[in-house]
Chain A
Amino acid sequence: MDNLLEKLKVQVIDRLKLKDLKPADIGDDQPLFVEGIGLDSIDALELIVLLQQEYNIKLSNADDGPRVFQSIRTMADYITANSGAVKVST
Protein backbone atom coordinates (compact mmCIF):
# COMPACT_ATOMS: atom_id res chain seq x y z
CA MET A 1 0.00 0.00 0.00
CA ASP A 2 2.80 2.41 0.89
CA ASN A 3 4.41 1.76 -2.48
CA LEU A 4 1.13 2.49 -4.23
CA LEU A 5 0.72 5.76 -2.32
CA GLU A 6 4.20 6.92 -3.31
CA LYS A 7 3.76 5.81 -6.90
CA LEU A 8 0.47 7.66 -7.14
CA LYS A 9 2.04 10.87 -5.85
CA VAL A 10 4.72 10.69 -8.54
CA GLN A 11 2.13 9.96 -11.22
CA VAL A 12 -0.18 12.78 -10.11
CA ILE A 13 2.69 15.31 -10.08
CA ASP A 14 3.87 14.16 -13.49
CA ARG A 15 0.43 13.93 -15.06
CA LEU A 16 -0.81 17.27 -13.73
CA LYS A 17 2.54 19.03 -14.25
CA LEU A 18 2.74 20.13 -10.64
CA LYS A 19 6.37 21.10 -11.05
CA ASP A 20 6.55 23.07 -7.85
CA LEU A 21 5.63 20.00 -5.78
CA LYS A 22 7.59 16.95 -4.70
CA PRO A 23 5.96 13.67 -3.60
CA ALA A 24 6.89 14.43 0.01
CA ASP A 25 4.86 17.66 -0.20
CA ILE A 26 1.64 15.72 -0.67
CA GLY A 27 0.18 14.15 2.47
CA ASP A 28 -1.52 10.77 2.12
CA ASP A 29 -4.78 12.22 3.44
CA GLN A 30 -4.39 15.79 2.20
CA PRO A 31 -7.38 16.98 0.14
CA LEU A 32 -6.48 17.15 -3.54
CA PHE A 33 -8.98 19.84 -4.47
CA VAL A 34 -9.71 23.39 -3.37
CA GLU A 35 -8.16 23.95 0.05
CA GLY A 36 -5.66 21.13 -0.34
CA ILE A 37 -3.38 20.99 -3.35
CA GLY A 38 -5.80 23.19 -5.27
CA LEU A 39 -6.60 20.97 -8.23
CA ASP A 40 -9.41 22.03 -10.58
CA SER A 41 -12.07 20.35 -12.73
CA ILE A 42 -9.70 19.75 -15.65
CA ASP A 43 -7.29 18.07 -13.26
CA ALA A 44 -10.16 15.81 -12.15
CA LEU A 45 -10.67 14.68 -15.75
CA GLU A 46 -6.96 14.07 -16.07
CA LEU A 47 -7.03 11.89 -12.94
CA ILE A 48 -9.84 9.82 -14.45
CA VAL A 49 -7.67 9.28 -17.55
CA LEU A 50 -4.74 8.38 -15.30
CA LEU A 51 -6.79 5.62 -13.65
CA GLN A 52 -7.80 4.27 -17.05
CA GLN A 53 -4.37 4.34 -18.64
CA GLU A 54 -2.19 3.33 -15.71
CA TYR A 55 -4.51 0.98 -13.82
CA ASN A 56 -7.10 -0.01 -16.42
CA ILE A 57 -9.85 1.16 -14.11
CA LYS A 58 -12.87 3.05 -15.42
CA LEU A 59 -14.79 5.27 -13.07
CA SER A 60 -18.21 3.92 -13.98
CA ASN A 61 -20.21 6.27 -11.79
CA ALA A 62 -19.35 9.97 -12.01
CA ASP A 63 -20.92 10.51 -8.60
CA ASP A 64 -18.07 8.46 -7.11
CA GLY A 65 -15.53 11.10 -8.26
CA PRO A 66 -15.49 13.35 -5.18
CA ARG A 67 -15.05 10.32 -2.89
CA VAL A 68 -12.43 8.57 -5.03
CA PHE A 69 -10.34 11.69 -5.64
CA GLN A 70 -10.56 13.10 -2.16
CA SER A 71 -6.93 12.27 -1.41
CA ILE A 72 -4.05 10.08 -2.52
CA ARG A 73 -5.15 7.46 0.01
CA THR A 74 -8.74 7.31 -1.27
CA MET A 75 -7.40 6.94 -4.81
CA ALA A 76 -5.14 4.08 -3.67
CA ASP A 77 -8.04 2.44 -1.85
CA TYR A 78 -10.18 2.62 -4.97
CA ILE A 79 -7.41 1.18 -7.14
CA THR A 80 -6.81 -1.66 -4.69
CA ALA A 81 -10.51 -2.45 -4.49
CA ASN A 82 -11.05 -2.37 -8.25
CA SER A 83 -8.03 -4.13 -9.71
CA GLY A 84 -7.27 -7.80 -9.50
CA ALA A 85 -3.55 -7.50 -9.13
CA VAL A 86 -1.97 -4.09 -8.85
CA LYS A 87 1.59 -4.13 -10.07
CA VAL A 88 3.74 -1.60 -8.30
CA SER A 89 7.23 -1.11 -9.58
CA THR A 90 9.70 0.45 -7.21
Chain B
Amino acid sequence: MVTQNKIHKNGNLVFEHAGSPEEFLNALYAHLALSYPKFHKMDLLCKLGFLTTELLLQDSGHSEKYGDTETGLVLCNKNSSLDVDLKYAQTIQKGASPALFVYTLPNIVIGEISIRHHFRGENAFFVFKQFNGNFIVEYVNCLFENKLIKNCLCGWVDILKEDYHATLFLIEPDGSQKNSIVFTPENLNQLNQQEHG
Protein backbone atom coordinates (compact mmCIF):
# COMPACT_ATOMS: atom_id res chain seq x y z
CA MET B 1 0.00 0.00 0.00
CA VAL B 2 2.77 2.46 0.91
CA THR B 3 5.88 2.33 -1.25
CA GLN B 4 8.51 4.78 -2.42
CA ASN B 5 6.73 8.16 -2.37
CA LYS B 6 3.33 6.67 -3.26
CA ILE B 7 0.28 5.27 -1.53
CA HIS B 8 -2.33 3.01 -3.08
CA LYS B 9 -5.56 2.04 -1.38
CA ASN B 10 -7.58 -0.77 -2.94
CA GLY B 11 -5.55 -0.31 -6.11
CA ASN B 12 -6.03 3.46 -6.40
CA LEU B 13 -3.26 6.01 -6.01
CA VAL B 14 -4.36 8.20 -3.09
CA PHE B 15 -1.20 10.15 -2.18
CA GLU B 16 2.16 10.99 -3.66
CA HIS B 17 5.00 13.10 -2.31
CA ALA B 18 8.65 13.26 -3.33
CA GLY B 19 11.33 13.40 -0.66
CA SER B 20 13.14 11.37 1.95
CA PRO B 21 11.18 8.77 3.94
CA GLU B 22 10.91 11.23 6.84
CA GLU B 23 9.70 14.04 4.58
CA PHE B 24 7.22 11.70 2.90
CA LEU B 25 5.78 10.46 6.20
CA ASN B 26 5.56 13.96 7.68
CA ALA B 27 3.80 15.15 4.50
CA LEU B 28 1.36 12.26 4.79
CA TYR B 29 0.68 13.15 8.44
CA ALA B 30 -0.12 16.71 7.36
CA HIS B 31 -2.23 15.45 4.45
CA LEU B 32 -4.33 13.33 6.79
CA ALA B 33 -4.81 16.39 9.05
CA LEU B 34 -4.09 14.35 12.15
CA SER B 35 -3.56 15.86 15.56
CA TYR B 36 -1.52 13.32 17.50
CA PRO B 37 1.53 14.93 19.19
CA LYS B 38 3.16 11.58 19.95
CA PHE B 39 3.55 10.98 16.22
CA HIS B 40 6.50 13.38 16.17
CA LYS B 41 8.35 11.29 18.74
CA MET B 42 8.04 8.02 16.84
CA ASP B 43 10.79 6.40 14.83
CA LEU B 44 10.17 5.95 11.10
CA LEU B 45 9.01 2.33 11.37
CA CYS B 46 6.31 3.40 13.82
CA LYS B 47 5.36 6.40 11.69
CA LEU B 48 5.03 4.12 8.66
CA GLY B 49 2.88 1.53 10.45
CA PHE B 50 0.86 4.19 12.26
CA LEU B 51 -0.02 6.14 9.10
CA THR B 52 -0.71 3.04 7.00
CA THR B 53 -3.17 1.92 9.67
CA GLU B 54 -4.79 5.35 9.66
CA LEU B 55 -5.31 5.08 5.90
CA LEU B 56 -6.65 1.56 6.13
CA LEU B 57 -9.15 2.26 8.91
CA GLN B 58 -10.17 5.69 7.65
CA ASP B 59 -13.93 5.74 6.97
CA SER B 60 -14.17 2.00 7.68
CA GLY B 61 -16.37 2.30 10.76
CA HIS B 62 -13.96 -0.11 12.41
CA SER B 63 -14.15 1.31 15.95
CA GLU B 64 -17.95 1.09 15.95
CA LYS B 65 -17.95 -2.52 14.76
CA TYR B 66 -15.44 -4.11 17.12
CA GLY B 67 -14.62 -4.11 20.82
CA ASP B 68 -11.15 -3.42 22.21
CA THR B 69 -10.15 -7.08 22.45
CA GLU B 70 -11.66 -8.23 19.14
CA THR B 71 -8.98 -6.88 16.79
CA GLY B 72 -5.81 -8.84 16.10
CA LEU B 73 -2.62 -7.17 14.89
CA VAL B 74 -0.08 -9.32 13.05
CA LEU B 75 2.83 -7.56 11.37
CA CYS B 76 5.98 -8.73 9.63
CA ASN B 77 9.03 -7.20 8.03
CA LYS B 78 12.54 -7.88 6.82
CA ASN B 79 14.68 -5.33 8.62
CA SER B 80 13.23 -5.52 12.12
CA SER B 81 14.07 -2.20 13.85
CA LEU B 82 17.46 -1.87 12.14
CA ASP B 83 16.69 1.61 10.79
CA VAL B 84 16.44 3.11 14.27
CA ASP B 85 19.01 0.70 15.73
CA LEU B 86 21.64 2.25 13.46
CA LYS B 87 20.59 5.77 14.41
CA TYR B 88 20.70 4.88 18.08
CA ALA B 89 24.17 3.38 17.70
CA GLN B 90 25.36 6.66 16.19
CA THR B 91 23.97 8.72 19.08
CA ILE B 92 25.75 6.58 21.68
CA GLN B 93 28.97 8.39 20.78
CA LYS B 94 27.51 11.65 22.08
CA GLY B 95 25.31 10.18 24.79
CA ALA B 96 22.46 7.71 24.43
CA SER B 97 18.96 9.04 23.91
CA PRO B 98 16.29 7.21 25.96
CA ALA B 99 13.59 8.49 23.59
CA LEU B 100 15.36 6.81 20.67
CA PHE B 101 16.22 3.68 22.63
CA VAL B 102 12.58 2.85 23.34
CA TYR B 103 12.00 2.31 19.61
CA THR B 104 14.79 -0.22 19.14
CA LEU B 105 12.39 -3.18 18.92
CA PRO B 106 10.17 -3.88 15.90
CA ASN B 107 7.05 -4.68 17.89
CA ILE B 108 6.87 -1.13 19.27
CA VAL B 109 4.95 -0.22 16.12
CA ILE B 110 2.22 -2.60 17.29
CA GLY B 111 2.16 -0.77 20.62
CA GLU B 112 1.82 2.63 18.96
CA ILE B 113 -1.03 1.43 16.73
CA SER B 114 -2.73 -0.25 19.69
CA ILE B 115 -2.51 2.88 21.85
CA ARG B 116 -3.97 5.00 19.07
CA HIS B 117 -6.90 2.67 18.35
CA HIS B 118 -7.34 1.14 21.83
CA PHE B 119 -6.60 -2.36 20.56
CA ARG B 120 -6.11 -4.94 23.31
CA GLY B 121 -6.42 -8.12 21.24
CA GLU B 122 -3.88 -10.73 20.14
CA ASN B 123 -0.78 -9.35 18.46
CA ALA B 124 2.56 -10.51 17.15
CA PHE B 125 5.47 -9.26 15.07
CA PHE B 126 7.55 -11.60 12.87
CA VAL B 127 10.74 -11.04 10.91
CA PHE B 128 11.09 -12.80 7.53
CA LYS B 129 13.48 -12.51 4.61
CA GLN B 130 10.54 -11.60 2.37
CA PHE B 131 6.77 -11.13 2.38
CA ASN B 132 5.20 -14.44 3.35
CA GLY B 133 1.52 -14.67 2.55
CA ASN B 134 1.36 -18.34 3.50
CA PHE B 135 2.48 -17.66 7.04
CA ILE B 136 0.21 -14.65 7.52
CA VAL B 137 -2.88 -16.54 6.35
CA GLU B 138 -2.05 -19.60 8.46
CA TYR B 139 -1.34 -17.57 11.62
CA VAL B 140 -4.34 -15.25 11.32
CA ASN B 141 -6.71 -18.11 10.50
CA CYS B 142 -5.49 -19.85 13.63
CA LEU B 143 -6.49 -16.80 15.68
CA PHE B 144 -9.93 -16.82 14.07
CA GLU B 145 -10.40 -20.57 14.52
CA ASN B 146 -9.56 -20.30 18.20
CA LYS B 147 -12.08 -17.45 18.52
CA LEU B 148 -9.40 -15.11 19.85
CA ILE B 149 -10.30 -12.28 17.46
CA LYS B 150 -13.16 -11.10 15.25
CA ASN B 151 -11.06 -9.16 12.76
CA CYS B 152 -7.38 -8.64 12.08
CA LEU B 153 -4.98 -6.04 10.74
CA CYS B 154 -2.07 -7.83 9.19
CA GLY B 155 0.71 -7.38 6.70
CA TRP B 156 4.14 -5.94 6.09
CA VAL B 157 5.76 -2.78 7.52
CA ASP B 158 9.41 -2.36 6.65
CA ILE B 159 11.94 0.47 6.45
CA LEU B 160 15.69 0.75 6.20
CA LYS B 161 17.34 4.03 5.29
CA GLU B 162 15.78 5.20 2.00
CA ASP B 163 13.74 2.07 1.31
CA TYR B 164 10.32 1.61 2.84
CA HIS B 165 7.33 -0.53 2.09
CA ALA B 166 4.08 -1.24 3.90
CA THR B 167 1.15 -3.38 2.81
CA LEU B 168 -1.63 -3.77 5.35
CA PHE B 169 -4.83 -5.77 5.10
CA LEU B 170 -8.00 -5.65 7.18
CA ILE B 171 -9.32 -9.19 7.51
CA GLU B 172 -12.98 -9.64 8.41
CA PRO B 173 -14.87 -12.94 8.30
CA ASP B 174 -17.88 -11.58 6.51
CA GLY B 175 -16.01 -9.66 3.83
CA SER B 176 -18.30 -6.70 4.42
CA GLN B 177 -15.95 -4.03 3.08
CA LYS B 178 -16.14 -2.80 -0.50
CA ASN B 179 -13.50 -4.24 -2.82
CA SER B 180 -12.87 -7.11 -0.42
CA ILE B 181 -11.05 -10.17 -1.68
CA VAL B 182 -10.73 -13.72 -0.38
CA PHE B 183 -8.05 -14.13 2.30
CA THR B 184 -5.63 -16.50 0.58
CA PRO B 185 -1.82 -16.56 0.40
CA GLU B 186 -2.00 -16.14 -3.37
CA ASN B 187 -4.12 -12.99 -3.11
CA LEU B 188 -1.91 -11.49 -0.41
CA ASN B 189 1.28 -12.25 -2.31
CA GLN B 190 -0.20 -10.89 -5.54
CA LEU B 191 -1.45 -7.67 -3.93
CA ASN B 192 1.86 -7.11 -2.18
CA GLN B 193 3.69 -7.61 -5.48
CA GLN B 194 1.36 -5.23 -7.30
CA GLU B 195 1.77 -2.52 -4.73
CA HIS B 196 5.49 -3.07 -4.39
CA GLY B 197 6.15 -3.59 -8.08
Q: How far is the CA of A37 from the CA of B41 in the complex (A)?
A: 15
- Where chain B touches its partner, the secondary structure class is loop
Which of the candidate stretches A1-9, A26-34, A44-52, A68-76 sits at the interface with the other chain? Answer: A44-52
Q: Do the beta carbons of B37 and A49 come within 8 Å of each other?
A: no
Q: How far is the CA of A19 from the CA of B99 in the complex (A)?
A: 15
The complex places the Cα of A17 from the Cα of B49 at a distance, in Å, of 19
Task: Tell me if B40 and A46 are in contact (CB < 8 A).
Answer: no
Report the separation of the CA atoms of residues A49 and B96 in the bound assembly, to the nearest whole angstrom.
8
Counted as pairs of residues, one from A and one from B, with CB atoms less than 8 Å apart, the total is 28
| Chain B 1-44: CB-based contact to A (< 8 A → 1; otherwise 0) | 00000000000000000000000000000000001010011000
Distance between B50 CB and nearest chain A CB, rounded to angstroms? 15
Q: B99–A16 contact, CB under 8 A?
A: yes
Neighbour of B95 across the interface among A16, A20, A49, CB < 8 A:
A49
Report the separation of the CA atoms of residues A17 and B35 in the bound assembly, to the nearest whole angstrom.
14
Partner-A contacts on B (CB < 8 A): 35, 37, 40-41, 94-99, 102
On A, residues with C-beta under 8 Å from B are: 16-20, 42-43, 45-46, 49, 52-53
Known A-B contacts: A16-B41, A16-B99, A18-B40. Give 13 more (CB < 8 A): A19-B40, A20-B37, A42-B98, A43-B99, A45-B98, A46-B99, A49-B95, A49-B96, A49-B97, A49-B98, A52-B95, A53-B94, A53-B95
